[in-house]
Structure 1
Amino acid sequence: MLPCSSHCVGRLACYSKRRVTSAAYHAHARTYATASQLPLVQPVERELTNSTSHSDDTLSRRIHEFLSSQFTSTSLLSGSHRLNTGRTLPHVLPYESHPNAARRADSTQPSTDKIGDGLVAVVHAVQTDGGDIDYELSSGFIIEPHGLKDKQTVVTCSHTLDALSIRHPMTLIHSFILASNMDTTPIPITSYPSGSVSDLLICSIPRSPILRSLPISPFPVYRGQKVQVHEYGTGGEWIQGIKREWKEAEMMGYRNHAWREVQPGTTSALPYITFSSRPSNGSSGGPIVDAQSGAVVGVVSGSRTISAVKGERGYGASAENIFELFSLPGFIPTSQKYK
């Protein structure tokens, strides 16, 4: 398991003259579930346990080999992924709230065929002038909007690429995915057509090889429902020595951008979903799946304090955010009306 994670600490606004204590500061800490070469911000009075050196990590060595060999990924300028934030794509993402058994996202069957299981590892890497490689690793999954003929689409988190872009401004970043199919060759990410402020990033990859896609549900789940969270670093073998497993958790509610609790069925947007477990480092960008239907209902970001009583729990972007980046069924974008 890759040891480091990026930490981002935020405080709620305090309008009294009372000094914010260290305990109050930690009460609103937010931790991203990422695996990286270096942390984005040094954690405040928080120690990581069971850490190992990246130089001893099998995946780290393979990333070095990929970038040092004849393999060349598409290089994109750091920070350029933010240019399309909030852009609505001219394709429709199908609603799959009750997929059949073969389409369930949380399948535990080992992937032995050419299309994989729909889940991927996402790597963003920079090779420095000194020959060192700094990288961020997260999870992701394939989706299949209607009308895409020459490319495939990956959903992942954006904070990992944000972190690398901050550390290496105006630098070319090599981004690629490692799929769970039989081919061990990394697949380059060719562009970032869209993203959202809720920590989502839409990535494009070549159409070949064809990979399995996961079903996405636009409908909310309710508090107390069981969800399956894709966890990185533990469980059975997955991709090139990486381990993964599905962990059951309980859905704990939705939050808005101000981190106030909001309810499904009201006029409030539901940007964030919270759940009872704390995701492991490297799980960011992986799917949160409704245990009953098998459809994706969210994307893991990390962990954050829910309340003083409940403490720190997992959270991520709701599937509602994914659908907001695609066109509505039956709606023709202005850019295509007069073609």
Structure 2
Amino acid sequence: MLRPTVNLGLSVHLAYTPIFAKSLSFRCYATVSPSIINNIGRPPHPPGATPAKEPRAISQLDRSLLASLSPSQVSLFDLIQQYIGRSGRILDASLVYESRPGRARRIDCFAGKNGMDAGIVLIAHCIEDESNDEHKVAVSSGFVLEVPALDGKESLVVSCAHTLEEIRRSPVALKQQVPSQVRSGTFAITGDGQFHPIHSISSALPRSDILLLTCDKLPVRTLPISPYPAHAQTPVWAHLIAYEKPSEPADWSPWVGGTWRRWARGEVKGYRDFAGRESQPGTYDALSHMLFAPLPTPGSSGGPIVDEESGAVIGISLGTRMDNRIEGMRGWGVPSECIFEMFSLPGLEKK
């Protein structure tokens, strides 16, 4: 009989005991290496002295946001309840289809500071517990949609949902048994530095990581949204922000609350379905997420991805992910067709 003896240490030992028989059988015996036994039960080395935690410096943006919180505005806890209750909701309004916007509507990639980013806002979810000297601010990007049913009274802003999920699960929010003991809320911050409180969350698609925020009419333009996905290698522009001015490249310009912004050129890299499988436009494949370049920076989530040729938004930045070991990191987002899932089809709205 052939009896291999397996050592679970660094090597495998095979002990052969040949026995002549009509059939040859194998039996495997697992043995524990003494090197493993000797290491069991040894206490770890005592840790060194833990340095005292220094209080985190409050940024210029955080300080301004916390000072703007008002007891009269809709609290973050109410917005979270709306986010949960209105997930998957379809609004009784339609979103304008603008796959090929006219010259006055298209986003000009070379218009500079007052052109291309005029419809982009900064979204800030804030909570402060003054009794314990704790606060949390989660920042993302967003842009304003063209919804004729609003009649110029309100603005609908689309942004990412994961920053709301982040602050929802933060320690300062989770430990509040009585939400009225803290100040909280969400703001849309326009390019002129004005803070506009968010009144409600109209709809959300948590699986796609996007939501719709409602506030009073914002003094910014709306961006054209294309319902059609762009093919791979389509040249695009992505809006990026940074909390400190990067040394490279040199085209970063000052933006809201001490942040910096720039438009970076890249291209669509491909699409994935919810299972992570590769999918293709023009087929029955589900285009749940899109891969693109360049890599978005922290705070850029929720910002637009613009088709260079048409000047329309064809996607929303969400973050980065590892595509594979060969391709490396890619920008991660959703195609703009996901936005239309929260609106009624044209002509089918309730009158």
TM-score bracket for the superposition, by shorter chain length:
0.7 to 0.9
In the other structure, the counterpart of 1:254 is: 271
Q: Which has the higher contact order (CA 8 A, sep 6+)?
A: 1
Which of these residues, 290, 296, 312, is aligned with residue 295 of structure 1? 312
For the pair 1:64 / 2:74, whether they are aligned, the reply is no
In the other structure, the counterpart of 2:284 is: 267
Q: CA deviation at 1:112?
A: 5.8
For the pair 1:321 / 2:338, whether they are aligned, the reply is yes
CA gap of 1:110–1:132, structure 2 versus 1, over 3 A, is farther
For the pair 1:244 / 2:261, whether they are aligned, the reply is yes
Is the 2:66–2:128 contact (alpha carbons within 8 Å) kept by the matching residues of 1?
no
Q: CA deviation at 1:317?
A: 1.4
Deviations 1:60-88 (A, max 9, x none): 22223323xx6853214163112211111
In the other structure, the counterpart of 1:282 is: 299
Letter in 2 for 1:91: A
For the pair 1:162 / 2:172, whether they are aligned, the reply is no
Q: CA deviation at 1:108?
A: 4.7
TM-score (normalised: structure 2): 0.73
In the other structure, the counterpart of 1:74 is: 74
TM-score (normalised: structure 1): 0.76
Is the 1:99–1:293 contact (alpha carbons within 8 Å) kept by the matching residues of 2?
yes
Q: Secondary structure at the match of 2:232?
A: coil
Letter in 1 for 2:216: P
In the other structure, the counterpart of 1:189 is: 198
Is the 1:104–1:295 contact (alpha carbons within 8 Å) kept by the matching residues of 2?
yes
**Inter-partner Cα distance in structure 1 for 2:315 and 2:273:** 14
In the other structure, the counterpart of 1:5 is: none
**Inter-partner Cα distance in structure 2 for 1:100 and 1:54:** 48
Is the 1:275–1:314 contact (alpha carbons within 8 Å) kept by the matching residues of 2?
yes
**Inter-partner Cα distance in structure 2 for 1:205 and 1:55:** 30
Is the 2:93–2:344 contact (alpha carbons within 8 Å) kept by the matching residues of 1?
yes
- The count of aligned residue pairs is 276
**Inter-partner Cα distance in structure 2 for 1:249 and 1:54:** 35
In the other structure, the counterpart of 1:205 is: 215
Q: CA deviation at 1:221?
A: 0.6
Q: CA deviation at 1:130?
A: 1.8
Q: Where does the alignment leave 5 or more consecutive residues of structure 2 unmatched?
A: 1-54, 246-251
Q: Secondary structure at the match of 2:168?
A: helix
In the other structure, the counterpart of 1:175 is: 186
Letter in 1 for 2:139: L
In the other structure, the counterpart of 1:136 is: 138
CA gap of 1:299–1:117, structure 2 versus 1, over 3 A, is same
Is the 2:76–2:127 contact (alpha carbons within 8 Å) kept by the matching residues of 1?
no
CA gap of 1:109–1:195, structure 2 versus 1, over 3 A, is same
**Inter-partner Cα distance in structure 2 for 1:112 and 1:293:** 19
Letter in 1 for 2:73: S
Q: CA RMSD in A?
A: 2.3
Q: Where does the alignment leave 5 or more consecutive residues of structure 1 unmatched?
A: 1-52
In the other structure, the counterpart of 1:125 is: 126
Q: CA deviation at 1:98?
A: 1.4
Q: CA deviation at 1:254?
A: 0.9
Identity of counterpart residues, as a percentage?
A: 36
